Amino acid sequence: MKFQADLGVNFCGIRFGNPFCLSSSPVGNHAEMCARAYDAGWGGIVYKTLGLEKSFKVIMPSPRLSVYNYGDKRFIGLQNAEQITDRPIRENIRDIAWLKKHYPHKVLISSIMGYVDEDWIELAKMSEDAGADMLELNFSCPQMAHKSAGHRVGQDFLAVAAFTEVVKKASKLPVMAKMTPNITNMVPVALAAKQGGADAISAINTIKAITDIDIENFTPLPNIHGHSSATGFSGPSVKPVAMRFVSDLYNSKPLGLPISAVGGIETWIDALHFLLLGATNLQVTTGILRYGYRIVEDMIEGLSDYMLERNIKSLNEIIGKSSRKIVDPSEFVTRFQVVSVIDDAKCIGCGQCYISCQDGANQAVKFDTLTRKASVDEERCIGCLLCKHVCPVWDCISINLNFHFYIHFHSISRKLRSKN
C-alpha cells in the first residue's frame, strides 16, 4: 500500500505529476542539473531563460549575489544581479532535447526572452522543435543590461500584448507570461498578455531591491567593481508580496487564466498558501539555492499527508479556497472587536509585551515587577495583537474569543470613555 495522495494537476492542458517546478534560474541551468532535479521528484522545470547571443551577448556581473540577514537569521532574502543565460543557444537547445528524450513524462517549460519580434519567434520555434512542453515569456527580469528587455517590457502593456501575440502565432505550445512585481497593479499587464493570447500567468519575478551597503566604502552590495544596482530580490522575504499578486490575479474576473506561483516557496505550507490563493502550479528558485533539490521530497510528502488527513482527493478541491476571503478593507466587518489575553502559567516575565504596548499600542499591558507577570487591561486593549507577536512564548498570548461579551464590553467601555 502506498500512502500518497494524488498531487497531479492539469495546467494549460499539460499533466504535471506534482505542481512543484524549478523556476527559471541557475537551478535549471543545464541538462545534468535538470536531470538531478527530476530524479529528486520535481514535477517540472522552467529552464533558465534563453536568449540569442547574436542579438545580445550576456556577460554576468561579478559578484552576483547579496543576502538580507536579520539577527542570527541569514538569507531571509536574496538579491541577485544575474542576467538570462550566458550559455550559447545551441547548447541549451541540445540540453532541452536531451532532457525531453530521457524524461518524456516530466514537464519541461522553456523560458525565453527576445529583444525584437524575430528573436521571440526564433526562440519559440527552437524550443518547440527541441520538444519543450510549454513556453514561459520572461517579461520580468529586473536587471537586464539590454535596454529594451526584461521588466521594462513587463511594465509596458502594449509590448507585452504584442510579443505574446508574436509568440502565439509562431508556436502551437501553451504560453505563460511571467510578470514583474515592479509595478503598482499587475492585473492590467496580465490582461495585456491575455489579449496577446497567453494561456497562463506566472508571478512573481524578483523585486528590485537593495539589500546591503558596505558602510566603510559606501558601496551597496553586491559590490560590482565599485557599483551596485537595485536588482532582483527573492526568497522567504518576498513571499508575502508574491501572495498578494497571486491573489490579485486570481480574484480578477476578466483575467480568468491559470496561475503559476513563484516567490519564497520552501515548504509544503508555503506551497499550500499559494494553492489556496489560486495557483495551480508552483515554482521555486531561492529555496533550492539555499537547500538543494531535496526540499521537494518534504513538499510532496507534507502536502500529501495534509490531503490524506482531510480526505482531499485532488488539489483542485483546494485551489483558490482562501481567495474569496481576501476582500477590500472597506468590506471588513468591524462589529467584532477582540482583546488579547495572557496565559499566566506560560508567561516567563520578560516584559517585551509591556514595552511594545507602551510605546506602540494603547498602554493596555500591565507588568507587575514583583511577580514578574504581565496582564492585559481589557478595557484599554485595542486588540491589535502587537503583544502576541512579540512574546517569546509562541502560545502564551491569544485572542480572547468571548466575542459577545467583548462586543458589549467594548462598546460599553468605549461609550463610557467617549462620554468622559
Partner 1 sequence: MKLPVNPEKIVQFKGMREPLSLQAVIKESNRCLLCFDAPCSEGCPAGTDPAKFIRQIKFYNYKGAARTIRNNNILGSVCAFVCPVEKLCEKKCSIKALEDPINISGLQRFASEYGQRFEIEPPAQSLKSEGRIAIIGGGPAGMGCASALAKMDYEVTVFERENLTGGVPRWNIPGFRLPEEALVYDVKNLISQGVEIRHKSPVETPEAVTNLLAEGYDSVFISSGLSVAFKLDMLNGYSNVTDYITFLRKVKFGNESLNLKNKNVAIIGGGSVAIDSAVSAKACGANKVYLISLEHLSELPADKEEINLARIMDIIFKSGSQITGVVENENGLSGLTGIETDWIEPGKFIPLNARQISGTEFRINIDLVVQAIGTKPGNEIMILAKGLKTIGKGIIEVNEDFETNIPGVFAGGDVVNGGATVVQAVGEGKKAAQSIDNFLKNRRTSK
Ligand X SMILES: Cc1cc2nc3c(=O)[nH]c(=O)nc-3n(C[C@H](O)[C@H](O)[C@H](O)COP(=O)(O)O)c2cc1C
Active site members: 141
Nearest CA to 304 out of 14, 19, 106, 105 is that of 19
- Closer to partner 1 by CB, 112 or 271: give it: 271
DSSP, res 49: P
CA distance 160 to 183: 14
292 scored as a contact of ligand SF4 (CB under 6 A):
no
260 scored as a contact of ligand X (CB under 6 A):
no
356 to 395, contacts with ligand X by CB under 6 A? Answer: none
Q: Which of 8, 26, 131, 188 binds ligand X (CB under 6 A)?
A: 26
CB of 192 closer than 8 Å to CB of 257: no
Q: Cβ neighbours of residue 312 under 8 Å, at least 6 residues apart?
A: 5, 306, 318
Q: Which of 393, 401, 412, 416 binds ligand SF4 (CB under 6 A)?
A: 393
The entry of ligand SF4, ligand X, partner 1, none near residue 26 (CB within 5 to 8 angstroms by kind) is ligand X
329 to 368, contacts with partner 1 by CB under 8 A? Answer: none
Q: Which of 342, 361, 364, 386 binds ligand SF4 (CB under 6 A)?
A: 342
CB-based burial label for 41 (10 Å; 0-12, 13-18, 19+): middle
The entry of ligand X, ligand SF4, partner 1, none near residue 297 (CB within 5 to 8 angstroms by kind) is partner 1
205 scored as a contact of ligand X (CB under 6 A):
yes
Cell of 346: 506560560
User: Binding marks (x or -) toward ligand X, 38..77, rule CB under 6 A?
Assistant: ----------xx----------------------------
Nearest CA to 92 out of 174, 178, 24, 172 is that of 24
Sign of the CA dihedral with 316 first, then 321, 327, and 331 last: positive
DSSP, res 336: -
252 to 271, contacts with partner 1 by CB under 8 A? Answer: 266-269
DSSP, res 18: S
361 scored as a contact of ligand SF4 (CB under 6 A):
no
Mapped onto helix, strand or coil, the DSSP state of residue 365 is strand
Residue 363 CA, distance from chain mean position: 36
Q: Are strands 200-203 and 73-80 parallel, antiparallel or unpaired?
A: unpaired
109 scored as a contact of ligand X (CB under 6 A):
no
Q: Which of 6, 297, 343, 368 binds partner 1 (CB under 8 A)?
A: 297
Rounded to a whole number of angstroms, the minimum distance from the CB of residue 393 to ligand SF4 is 5
CB-based burial label for 139 (10 Å; 0-12, 13-18, 19+): buried
The entry of ligand X, partner 1, ligand SF4, none near residue 213 (CB within 5 to 8 angstroms by kind) is none
- Closer to partner 1 by CB, 84 or 397: give it: 397
209 scored as a contact of ligand X (CB under 6 A):
no
The entry of ligand SF4, ligand X, partner 1, none near residue 374 (CB within 5 to 8 angstroms by kind) is ligand SF4
CB of 150 closer than 8 Å to CB of 142: yes
Q: Are strands 281-284 and 259-262 parallel, antiparallel or unpaired?
A: parallel
Which amino acid, residue 47? Y
158 scored as a contact of ligand SF4 (CB under 6 A):
no
Sign of the CA dihedral with 126 first, then 26, 240, and 160 last: negative
78 scored as a contact of ligand X (CB under 6 A):
yes
Binding site for partner 1 (CB under 8 A): 1, 3, 266-269, 291, 294-295, 297-299, 301-302, 305, 309, 393-395
Binding site for ligand X (CB under 6 A): 23-26, 48-49, 78, 80, 82, 84, 111, 138, 141, 178, 205-206, 232, 234-235, 238, 262-265, 284-287
Binding site for ligand SF4 (CB under 6 A): 342, 347-353, 374, 390-393, 396-397
